[in-house]
Amino acid sequence: MLILNADDWGRDRETTERILDCALQGSLSSTSAMVFMEDSDRAAALARDRAIDTGLHLNLTTRFSGPGCPGRVVEMQERVTACLRRHRLAPAFFHPWLKGPFEYLVSAQIEEYVRLYGDVPKRIDGHHHMHLCTDVLAGGLLPPGGVARRSFTFSRGEKSWGNRLYRQTVDRILSRHHRLTDFFFSITPLEPQRLKRIANLAREWVVEVETHPVNPEEYRFLVGGGIRQFLADVSIAQGFIL
């Protein structure tokens, strides 16, 4: 199973339109929706009308741009963002003084997703992958039982031993209460041999590939049919199916 998922649905009009183009051409399985953003309301209506498979793209690091975003949501996000962006290792540490803001932000975004899409999100991933930060995982803030995005998959030699061990630990914690794909990759870099290896994995395993069609290179690759050159007889899943 090969799942191609586009991130940032609803972030702004351009991002939504690029993802929609790819979805209508059958180059995507699903998308991850941002709430409290500039195009969130319109994107939700499009997803309902077009039956586009969506999940929640939890946002803890990019300022909410929606005109009707509650002031308290903005305030809590500013506090969390300042902490997570202070240092590249900040997401790996627990910040007990921010327990309330983290809980509030996750809960508020889930509730807003329900308001926009009419149902609880069946899967959750994170903008900049911050759904995997220690405060979210240690706090048990992701609703149990659903699908959650695992850490990036790296082969031996691609990352340090410590980096890979940390990712494996995060995935083990996540798998206790959530369902995961077997592998997770970014679509970039668009190297032919790399993409063929990913497609071959999907013959025997469930593989998620993250895309950002707002990126011109990725958009051309997806709508221009480039992706299909490397899939051979491996089909793109019609929806986020485990």
Q: Which residues of the chain have pLDDT under 70?
A: 157
Q: Is there a contact between 8 and 34 (Cβ–Cβ < 8 Å)? A: yes
What pLDDT sits at residue 155?
Answer: 74
Written as six digits, the tokens of 239 are: 């929806």
CA distances, 172 to each of 137, 179, 193 (Å): 11, 11, 29
What pLDDT sits at residue 225?
Answer: 81
| CA distance linking residue 110 with residue 103, whole number of Å | 11
What pLDDT sits at residue 149?
Answer: 98
What pLDDT sits at residue 53?
Answer: 97
What pLDDT sits at residue 205?
Answer: 96
The structural domains of the chain, ordered by start, are 2-230 (3.20.20.370)
One-letter identity of residue 76: M
Percent share of the chain, pLDDT over 90? 86
CA angle 194–218–36, rounded 5-degree value: 125
Q: How high is the mean pLDDT of the chain?
A: 94
Which strand (E) or helix (H) includes residue 171?
helix 161-175
What pLDDT sits at residue 36?
Answer: 98
What pLDDT sits at residue 233?
Answer: 82
Q: Is the peptide bond before 189 cis (omega within 30 degrees of 0)?
A: yes
The residues that bridge with 58 in the sheet, in sequence order, are 126
What pLDDT sits at residue 219?
Answer: 97
pTM metric for this prediction:
0.95
